Amino acid sequence: MSSQQNKGVGLNLAKETRCMTCSLSSLCLPLSLNLEDIDQLDRIIKRRQPLKKGDHLFRQGDHFDSVYAVRSGSLKNYIMTNDGEEQITNFHLPSELVGLDGVDCSSYPVSSKALETTTVCEIPYTRLQSLAQELPDLRNQIFSSMSKEIRDDKQMMLLLSKKNAEERVATFLGNLSSRFKRRGYSPYTFRLPMSRNEIGNYLGLAVETVSRVFTRFQTIQIIAVNGKEVHITDRQQLLEIAGVTECEVEQPGKLIAS
């Protein structure tokens, strides 16, 4: 098992050791960093051993020292209620930044756990901070990522406070679909990296409710599900139920500035 893992590392490190050649760079650095700037950023980034399913990237309370970009796999972030239950606050797919909410504390306010085998780029915060001073574009990129997270959180509050079970699940699937699309994968067919339980936890629903909505959506031919494999048959109607217009699902954000 350990030999398998090492093989994986070797491959990844060999292929994508540098931001400049990383296929995700246009997503995780969607800014007009010039080659020199990217090179500087590149130097402070540490590549880490892949996390296995269930491994923690960090835990709530751990000393905050780095932010991370997901390279492959996926993570769930969650906080603990005082009676020990977990509340998932986010799922993170490749190219997404993780850990920015720890910036003004000495410790991470959430835990982050791998849903599957996952690789990340580690960006030591003190280095990032000093680099941000020199590179205005990078600084704005960080502001940008954070304000996007805030906006997403407000949408989540709306979902949790006003939407019913069907609308929640439809929103969730539509959102995932858009994120996969943006990453160059099919927006129609994908594999859920999380369990029904985790979906329910995230959406403020019981597992059983999530399950029932999945079945209802299959009955009315909006989706076809096989375990974690999801195929969206009628994206239009899914988004209608979600209560968003196509363009709202995920704001395109500033891609590589022209």
Partner DNA sequence: AAAAGTAGTTGAGATATATCATGTCTGCTT
Partner DNA sequence: AAGCAGACATGATATATCTCAACTACTTTT
Map tokens 């406070």 to a residue: 161
CA–CA dist 113, 118 (Å, integer): 10
User: Using CB distances below 5 to 8 A depending on partner kind, what does residue 245 bind out of a copy of itself, DNA, none?
Assistant: a copy of itself
User: Using CB distances below 5 to 8 A depending on partner kind, what does residue 195 bind out of DNA, a copy of itself, none?
Assistant: DNA
Note whether 164 binds DNA by CB under 7 A. yes
Indicate the DSSP class of residue 243.
T
Angle between helices 165-182 and 207-219 (to 10 degrees): 80
Nearest of 148, 142, 99 to residue 250 by alpha carbon: 148
Chain positions contacting a copy of itself, by CB under 8 A: 79, 81-83, 85, 87, 89, 100-105, 109-110, 129, 132-133, 136, 139-140, 142-151, 153-158, 160-162, 201, 203-204, 243-245, 251, 253-254
Binding mask 220-249 for DNA (x = CB under 7 A): -----x-xx---------------------
Among 209, 232, 239, 249, binds DNA (CB under 7 A): 209
Whether the Cβ atoms of residue 138 and residue 33 lie closer than 8 Å to each other: yes
Q: State the minimum distance, in angstroms, from the CB of residue 166 to DNA.
A: 7
Q: State the minimum distance, in angstroms, from the CB of residue 68 to DNA.
A: 24
CA–CA dist 59, 78 (Å, integer): 9
Q: State the minimum distance, in angstroms, from the CB of residue 198 to DNA.
A: 7
Note whether 205 binds DNA by CB under 7 A. yes
What 3-state DSSP class applies to 2? helix
**CA 235-239-241 angle, 5° bins:** 120
27 to each of 30, 94, 253, how far by Cα in Å?
Answer: 5, 9, 10
In this structure, what is the dihedral angle of CA atoms 158, 162, 167, 171, given to the nearest 10 degrees? 0
Q: State the minimum distance, in angstroms, from the CB of residue 111 to a copy of itself.
A: 11
User: Using CB distances below 5 to 8 A depending on partner kind, what does residue 211 bind out of a copy of itself, DNA, none?
Assistant: DNA
Footprint of DNA on this chain (CB under 7 A)? 164-166, 195-197, 204-212, 214-215, 225, 227-228
